Structures are given as structure tokens and as C-alpha cells.
Amino acid sequence: MTPFKLTDELVTEIEQLIENQKDTDLVALMEDLHYADVAEIIDELDKHEATYIIKLLESDKTSDVLTELDDDVREAILSNLSAKEIADELGELDTDDAADIVGELPSEIIQEVISELEDREHAKDIVDLLRYDEYSAGGLMAKELVKVKENWTVLTCVKEMRAQAENVTRVHSIYVVDAADKLKGRLSLKDLLTTSTTTHIKDVYIPKVDSVGVNEKPEEVAKIMQKYDLEAIPVVDEIGRLVGGVGAAAIMGGFEDMISKHAILFFFTPLIAAMAGNVGVQSSAIIVQGLANDDLKGSVGNRLIKEMLLALLNGIALAAVLLVFTWLWKGHFLTALTISLSLIAVILVAGFIGTFIPLFLHKRNIDPAIATGPFITTSNDIFGILIYFWIAKVVLGI
């Protein structure tokens, strides 16, 4: 499929279709576009044209479009929608995205919008999320997840999971709770499929599961996810009840205000993440190969220092080029400095992780080859983004 490309000609064509109220042609034009592409188009229109498109298209598409828009554009569109129309959009979104949008609305119409939601359970979940600090695990989490009761049989569990999964975009884990909804552990899909249908979940679930509290800061959540190589982590309240889950993508969402004020930071996010993953995998691959061939000599400390110095030299060279390029391109020295310092820091951390993990495992007679691939890449992606935005926060004073 040919990648979408926004052109002045396309924007002009859409503006003319709106002016002449050619709804059928407009829907046909937008029908096969991804919601991110529609959002890119809307960002180029005035608020009346943007609102026209949002009202014209189906909510199952425009709800996702709203989450992709710049804050100012979304605010302008929402101000032109009725409470019922806003509620229709929210009804199609996961609770975390819906709560983010509700949180942007004027306080006087929030209650009206919530009352217009047809799904009362969805409305309750949104209200629950609004009570948490925006910069906390509770503020980042989604209520959509799959949880099963420990006293259920496998047969009951499967039936309940089918019903729950309809509202979950992606199932990361199956969490087990007791009668009071307190988190007890997690359930392996393999165990679920290979166990008798009459077996109770409490007899097969895995009692160890990492979790975070609702008031945990995003930085701490990211550290835990990075340490244990998690794509998602359950969130519990003050008395241990399972209330939601945080995915890795939500961590970057915690820095949304920063990105909106300094959009250029978002442009370099893939570079930072890719560099972290590549350096980590490359470092670990070199170490693993050296260990396999018995080519590594000296202590672990000396090897670490050698690899860190090499990573530092590479980081400084790349950062210098990036500093000059970004400064000349955008004319803002602090932004250029932020990106360059982040690149150096990310390369150093990735080099350390990629070197230390294989050596650490080897010293404990564990095959170091398991350190390459998903663990190194995922951990460095999450940690790299965290470092990037933390440095931006310090340097730019956000």
C-alpha cells in the first residue's frame, strides 16, 4: 500500500467538498484513510471545516482521530460539539483516552457529557480515572483488561474472558483476583488451555505478579517495566485491588504536555529509541560472541569500562553532528542541546545494559544468549525514552 502523503491539492479539494456540502464524495474520500491520516488533514483545516468532518464521519473512526489531533485543534472542535456528540465519541474510546479528553473539557459541561454516555460502566470507569493525578500510574492506566476470579473453574473463566476481551484492544496478560478484586497473580494461557475445564483457577494460577500503586510516578513505573521486561503492568489501589493497567506506550503519554510545547522533541523520539535498541543489541551480541569463542580477557569491570568508553566516543561524535544540524535547522540551541545530550546518555545506558547483562549471566553459569533480542531492545526502548524526556524537562525547564 502506498504511504499517505498530504498535499496542498488534497487539502484544497477537501475544503471545496465541505464548502459545496458534497458529503457523499467527502465520505468516499475519507473512507479508506487511516485515522492518523484523517487527523493530519484536519490539522490543516479551520475549526469549522474540522468540525464538519468530525460530525460527518462515523464515531468509530472520528473518536480515534480526536486522540491524534493537536490539543488546540481538538479543543476547538469539542467546543463546537454538543454534550451528546462528545459522548458518542467517548463511547468508542478506551477509558484512558476518554478520560484524557474529558479532562480537557470545561468543568461546567463534564457532568453533562458523562450523563450522556449510554454505557454506564464505561462512564463509571472514566469518572474513576479522573480522580487520579494526571502524572501518576492511575492517571496513565486504562481500565480495559482481562481479569478472572480465583474461585472460577477453567470453563467459567474461558466464557468470562470471551466477554471481557470484546472491550480490550490488546490482551497483554490475564490477571487473577479474589472475591474482593484484590490482585492475586496471573494466569498462563498455556496452563489455561492444557488444564481440565473443571479445575479451579486458584489451583493453576501463578501467584507472583509485579504491580504498581495508583499513585506511583511514571518514572518509577517505567523503571519497573524496564527491569522486568514488561509490555504492561497491573495497577492496584491502596488496599491491593486491581483497578487497571499501564502499557509501555502510556509512559510516553505522560510527557504529552512537553511534546505539545516542543513538538520537535517528538520528531527525534524514533531516533533515540532506535539508537538505544541498536547499541544495546550490538553490545550484547559482541559480548555473547566473545564469550562463546573465549576471546574475552580480564575482569568484568575492565570490560565494562572499555565498552562504555567506546559507547561514549560514538555518542559524542553522533551528538556533535546532531547538535549542529538541529541548531541550524530550528535555531534553538537548548532544544538542540537536549537532543544531543539525550543521545549521549541513551547510548551510554544502552551500552552498559548490553554489556553488563550477558557478563552477569555468564558469571552465574546462565546462557548469556538469552540477553539478546527482545529483553535488551524492549528495556532500552523504555529506558531510552524516559531518559530523553527527563533530560528535556531539566534542560528546557518544563
pLDDT means over runs of 10, the chain (398 residues): 80 92 91 88 91 90 88 89 92 86 86 88 84 76 83 88 73 84 88 85 89 82 72 84 72 55 65 70 70 62 68 79 79 80 82 76 69 57 73 75
Question: Is residue 3 domain-resident?
Answer: no
Which residue, 218, 253, 288, sits at the end of a domain? 253
Question: Is residue 126 domain-resident?
Answer: yes
Same-domain pairing of 248 and 264:
no
Query: Do 29 and 22 touch, CB atoms closer than 8 A?
Result: no
Same-domain pairing of 269 and 358:
yes
Same-domain pairing of 248 and 263:
no
Which residue, 135, 166, 186, sits at the end of a domain? 135
CATH number for the domain spanning 313: value is 1.10.357.20
DSSP 2: P
Question: Is residue 78 domain-resident?
Answer: yes
Question: Is residue 277 domain-resident?
Answer: yes
d(CA 131, CA 287) in angstroms, rounded, equals: 48
Closest-CA residue to 306 (of 298, 318, 316, 315): 298
Which residue, 223, 253, 283, sits at the end of a domain? 253
| Total tally of structural domains belonging to the chain | 3
Q: What is the pLDDT of residue 284?
A: 72
Same-domain pairing of 31 and 100:
yes
Q: What is the pLDDT of residue 254?
A: 53
Q: Which residue has the cell 495497577?
A: 235
Query: Do 326 and 340 touch, CB atoms closer than 8 A?
Result: yes
CATH number for the domain spanning 173: value is 3.10.580.10
d(CA 58, CA 68) in angstroms, rounded, equals: 16
Same-domain pairing of 206 and 87:
no
d(CA 284, CA 286) in angstroms, rounded, equals: 5
Same-domain pairing of 174 and 203:
yes
d(CA 383, CA 346) in angstroms, rounded, equals: 8
> Whole-model pTM?
0.56
d(CA 371, CA 354) in angstroms, rounded, equals: 8
Q: What is the pLDDT of residue 178?
A: 92
Structural domain boundaries enclosing 174? 146-253
Sheet with 232-236: strands ordered across: 212-213, 232-236, 242-247
Same-domain pairing of 392 and 266:
yes
